[in-house]
Amino acid sequence: MPTNFGDNSTVVGEPPYKRQDDTYGKHTPPPTRAQTSTQGFTGQEARLSEFTTVDYTIEERPFFIPIGKNGVIEALEKLDRQLVESGRTKLLSKKSPTDWTGREVVPGQLGLINHGGSPKVLTKPGRYPSFPLRNWWARTWCGTTGLSDTVIDFQGLTVVQVSQNQAAVVSDPQNHIFVIKNSGFVAYAIEGTYDVLSIVDQTHLPNVVKDKLTGVTLGSTHEVKMNSNVGGNKQKEYVVATFLNIPASNCAILQRGDDLELIGAGQSVITNPSVTLRGLFTLGENQLEMPTKDIFTRDQVPVKLTIYLKWQLTEPLKLTTHGYNTPYDALRDKTQSILTQIVAHLDYSSMVKQRSLGPDNMEDGNDPSSAFLDALRSRAMDDMHEAALEYGIVLKDLAVIDRQFKGEIAATMDKLTTRALQAQVEAANVDRENSNKVKQEEGALSVTRIKAQSANTQADAEAYRVIAAAKAQAQKVRIEAEAQAEATRLAAEAEAAAVRLKAKADAEVIDQFAREMEMRRVEVSRIKAFGSKTVFVPSDSAGSQMGNAMALGMAASMGAQQAVVPSTSGR
């Protein structure tokens, strides 16, 4: 559990990495009787480990009273009783307030009186009359101060109260530095002074620490310094406390001699002069492009590589144990060593043809640069991963993204390679143009085929339309013919029926005169139909033969006349 008063080392809570046997350090004796009795003021035991010494806040200090739940007034009363019991002047004034005249002390304030160099405190609100109504001989009214002020320093009396997120760095009369968090104390210094060096806002420390390479924010720090007189009226500042604010997924490494200690995310403070901050680290993923030094191939051609690294630090203690301040320093040295060994066994020609090295171009084993790629895949990544684990680093990705060859041989080979690449580019361009032309012709052929299919479809549609029209016309004619035939049949039947009826009617006429008259009427109708000059010859008697002869003779005469007319016109 965290203490209200910080020790002279690191003020933190119970960390997950705390050892089971770190209640007392190897060289730290158990707390004395006086120390044990003082623990009652804080209600907690000191956290002592190999990184800490005795917590100065639990030492036997005369006239040092922690502020409890009842506030400053109760602590002042306890301090006053201790002073009286030791035969010293009272701290609290015996004067009683009035309500009609004098110096005024309102509720929430303390009245301060200088009594011959000793402090007197008025805690009761009211008015305090001055001389001659009250005995103010050798007393000087010094005003009032707020009861809840963070720091009250008056004539050797020191009152410190800090709230949440605040921390007070205090130097006691023996120049021991301790830190107070979320609590306070009341003290009267008989020999020396209690100096409040600084009140720190732990959540907004001014100095932000970032990784210079990756730009990741590692945390924030603040150093509290104390002025000391080193002789000859010379003042010098000394760092007495270092505050840390470590974000989530980050950590810090503390060092004391050859021992290292890991502290996690949170707010911490270092006051032990033998404990130093080794460094701040992030436990998240990082990535960086790293240039290497010149490496010589087997045929002595220098080459400079640019490496892409992606890693995650998992055990910072391993890294600092090997003497590295950042994961990049460890990876840089190991990467340079491994790549030097790989490139030293390869020729320039096996490296120059491959422009980039990554997982996308490591599949074809027939590639001329497969020797370099195989070496990178089988040796560099495996060796780097194994080496990084020794430093507490997990290597997640490694790739060579660029290389530069140097020297005359490299320049000559670069020219030849450039020409070869140009020829390849030109051949690729020709192939591309041919491919484009082929695609254009294929596209035109496809368009023609589609047009032909469209014409065929249109012709089929037109033929179908003509056939359908012809079928419709034929059907129409057939229907009309059938209708006409039916109409004719019906008309013939009607006419026949009329003739039969008329014949029947005529047959039923028995009067001779009526019969004669009907025949006369038929004769009249026939003459009227053919004319009055018409000669009717019977066709069923001898006269019919004469009629036929007369008709043949007349026809022959007409034919002879038609034959004579053309010959006359011809002459």
CB atoms within 10 A of CB 449: 10
Place of tokens 């022959």: 556
Higher pLDDT, 558 or 194: 194
Q: How far apart are CA 219 and CA 205, in angstroms?
A: 9
pLDDT tens figures, 428-456: 888 888 888 888 888 888 889 898 998 88
pLDDT bracket for residue 187 (50, 70, 90): very high
pLDDT tens figures, 316-370: 999 988 888 889 888 888 888 888 887 887 776 666 654 444 444 444 444 544 5
160-164, 172-176, 232-236, 478-482: least confident range = 232-236
pLDDT tens figures, 88-136: 989 998 888 888 788 889 999 999 988 888 899 999 999 888 766 566 6
> Mean pLDDT, to the nearest integer, of 284-288?
89
What DSSP string runs through 76-123?
HHHHHHHHHHTT---SB-----BSSSSEEE-TTEEEEEEETTEEEEE-
The predicted structure's pLDDT at residue 78: 92
Domain segments of the chain as ranges:
48-198, 202-282, 284-356+370-406
311 touches 393 (CB < 8 A): yes
- Tell me, letter by letter, the H, E, C secondary structure of 111-147: EEEEECCEEEEECCCEEECCCCCCCCCCEEEEEEEEC
Place of tokens 């990178």: 376
CATH 1.10.10.10 fits 284-356+370-406, yes or no: no
pLDDT bracket for residue 30 (50, 70, 90): very low
pLDDT bracket for residue 246 (50, 70, 90): very high
The predicted structure's pLDDT at residue 54: 36
Residue 352, classified by CB atoms within 10 Å of its CB into exposed (0-12), middle (13-18) or buried (19+), is buried
φ/ψ of 242, rounded to 5, equals: -125, 120
Name which of 51, 59, 56 is nearest 25 in CA terms: 51
pTM for this predicted structure: 0.60
Residues in the chain: 571
Place of tokens 């037109």: 462
pLDDT bracket for residue 29 (50, 70, 90): very low
Name which of 44, 71, 66, 57 is nearest 185 in CA terms: 66
Q: How far apart are CA 307 and CA 522, in angstroms?
A: 134
The predicted structure's pLDDT at residue 101: 80
Decide the pairing of beta strands 195-201 and 184-188.
unpaired
Q: Which residues are CB-neighbours of 122 under 8 A, at least 6 positions away?
A: 93, 95, 97, 105, 110, 111, 112, 113, 128
Q: How far apart are CA 171 and CA 154, in angstroms?
A: 16
The predicted structure's pLDDT at residue 26: 32
Higher pLDDT, 500 or 22: 500
Q: How far apart are CA 482 and CA 465, in angstroms?
A: 25
Higher pLDDT, 5 or 309: 309
